[in-house]
Structure 1
């Protein structure tokens, strides 16, 4: 089974947001003018042999790009293929806690994701702490982004070392840190190695662009700590997997990386 640990089925609000203009320079694509059907996302998954994709809501300050209810609607169209990941407004802590409970108990979501760069504060900011507590209580992972940002926003808040303090304060919290952590990949590996419940996903990078130290970690004692992700629709899943064979993974490690770790961590 191949599981994409980081995707999103975008709304037009998300796809057309000016914050992603810098990414379009890389992908050489124009902002879409029509809503993407769920059937297109499923077809892209089929093309790459992706069995399941975790798709996330996007909540930013005063801007809901993809709502939790929209994610639930997308999942309802393909419940055997798509898995919901919620997001919340950290500026309203009690509303955030109540929304996390709703996401898990009523919408059936398997994780919560909040991106520090969207809020321009590190994950040690006090506004995150009720979110962490709620995730622990509801038994779902907290997903976030580490490393530099493609959008023209400050990258410092994505330093992986911030998660060291979070994991010390919330040892029961399962943290999935997406986007590898470049240019602080060594920090990401150190934090993941130190803390039992911290993981890395490779979203936003194709296999041929994984840093050498991450590949070495994946081949060695990080085999159970790294999971595959795409950041779809930024990358088609097939493109993200294209050079996988060049990584030289054993059959066991390859199976864990592509799906086994995500299946275990997200309870799929």
Structure 2
């Protein structure tokens, strides 16, 4: 059965699947996990997908689950989108499957996107230009976007700084420029039927995300990847006012735990009446759960 928003306390828009049930951890990706764990001061051990589902069920939080396909960008073998979707299907009352397809897979990637939507119940997509080493508006990705837009599904785009590669030699080859939110603006214009979610507070380009969410009807912001106690002040200001229906709760599990994020959010300065929108109601509407 699909997620019933009335039966969960929150909807986490940003949860990573980083361990396959079938394949060992990729040695290339392991280097980035080492760096990210050090940056976030988080446990290096990555939970399996079943462990993640059990944790969120215990917390009574629904969540969007995805991996990141960066096979071309950094040469790391991805976790299969089909594995994510099949495991999510067993717990569809709490898990919302998203997929990630390397933009450079172009038309072949578009075939996979359509199959995942039509036959495996995938409800959205995740792109990470920094790790995929690809400008978000590179035309190579447009066949994939066309499929997403055709079905009116959301796509999450990483924005801002990245813990992936932080501290590694040469940043692990990761180019932060592809995390600049305004690079996604062309995508928002060219695909007005695709719901675009700018992930994270987008530092050091926070104001670009806020501007885009104000300007574009189809652009939203998920506030994952940072504890709310560290948010730039303008995030709180706009969440409490003009963007109260555009902001979404996201944790960035497993590097940030959802209950810790929610606890910090209650002390961050959000108005009391804004918290239900942020934690669940906005995501429920965006995902068409209600």
- Does residue 134 in structure 1 map to residue 147 in structure 2? yes
Q: How big is each residue's C-alpha offset from its partner over 1:213-262, in whole Å with a ceiling of 9 and x where there is no partner?
A: 11101001110011000110111111211222223334442111101111
For residue 239 of structure 2, the aligned residue among 190, 197, 218 is 218
For residue 230 of structure 1, the aligned residue among 226, 251, 257 is 251
Q: Following superposition of structure 1 onto structure 2, how do residues 6-155 of structure 1 map, counting pairs within 5 Å? A: 6-11=14-19, 13=25, 17-29=30-42, 31-32=44-45, 36=48, 38=50, 40-46=51-57, 49-60=59-70, 61=72, 62-152=75-165, 153-155=174-176
Deviation at 1:92, TM superposition (A): 2.4
Size of the alignment, in residue pairs? 265
Change in Cα spacing, 1:162 to 1:42, as seen in structure 2 (3 Å) is same
- Give the structure 2 partner of residue 188 of structure 1: 209
Looking at structure 2, the residues matched to 148 and 154 of structure 1 have their Cα atoms a distance apart, in angstroms, of 10
Instruction: Work out whether residues 204 and 229 of structure 1, in 8 Å CA contact, stay in contact via their aligned partners in 2.
Output: yes
Instruction: Work out whether residues 68 and 100 of structure 2, in 8 Å CA contact, stay in contact via their aligned partners in 1.
Output: yes
Secondary structure of residue in 1 paired with 2:104: coil
Instruction: Work out whether residues 3 and 50 of structure 1, in 8 Å CA contact, stay in contact via their aligned partners in 2.
Output: no
Looking at structure 2, the residues matched to 134 and 203 of structure 1 have their Cα atoms a distance apart, in angstroms, of 26
Looking at structure 2, the residues matched to 42 and 133 of structure 1 have their Cα atoms a distance apart, in angstroms, of 31
Instruction: Work out whether residues 160 and 187 of structure 1, in 8 Å CA contact, stay in contact via their aligned partners in 2.
Output: yes
Change in Cα spacing, 1:124 to 1:70, as seen in structure 2 (3 Å) is same
Instruction: Work out whether residues 42 and 255 of structure 2, in 8 Å CA contact, stay in contact via their aligned partners in 1.
Output: no
- Give the structure 2 partner of residue 259 of structure 1: 280
Q: Which runs of 5+ in 1 are unaligned?
A: none
Instruction: Work out whether residues 85 and 110 of structure 1, in 8 Å CA contact, stay in contact via their aligned partners in 2.
Output: yes
Q: Following superposition of structure 1 onto structure 2, how do residues 162-201 of structure 1 map, counting pairs within 5 Å? A: 162-201=183-222
Looking at structure 1, the residues matched to 285 and 96 of structure 2 have their Cα atoms a distance apart, in angstroms, of 14
Q: How big is each residue's C-alpha offset from its partner over 1:141-161, in whole Å with a ceiling of 9 and x where there is no partner?
A: 111100011112221111111
Deviation at 1:29, TM superposition (A): 4.5
TM-score of the superposed pair, with normalisation by structure 2: 0.85
Calculate the aligned-residue CA RMSD, in Å. 2.0
Deviation at 1:10, TM superposition (A): 2.4
For residue 2 of structure 1, the aligned residue among 3, 10, 15 is 10
Instruction: Work out whether residues 178 and 200 of structure 1, in 8 Å CA contact, stay in contact via their aligned partners in 2.
Output: yes
Change in Cα spacing, 1:91 to 1:137, as seen in structure 2 (3 Å) is same
Instruction: Work out whether residues 9 and 74 of structure 1, in 8 Å CA contact, stay in contact via their aligned partners in 2.
Output: no
Instruction: Work out whether residues 2 and 258 of structure 1, in 8 Å CA contact, stay in contact via their aligned partners in 2.
Output: yes
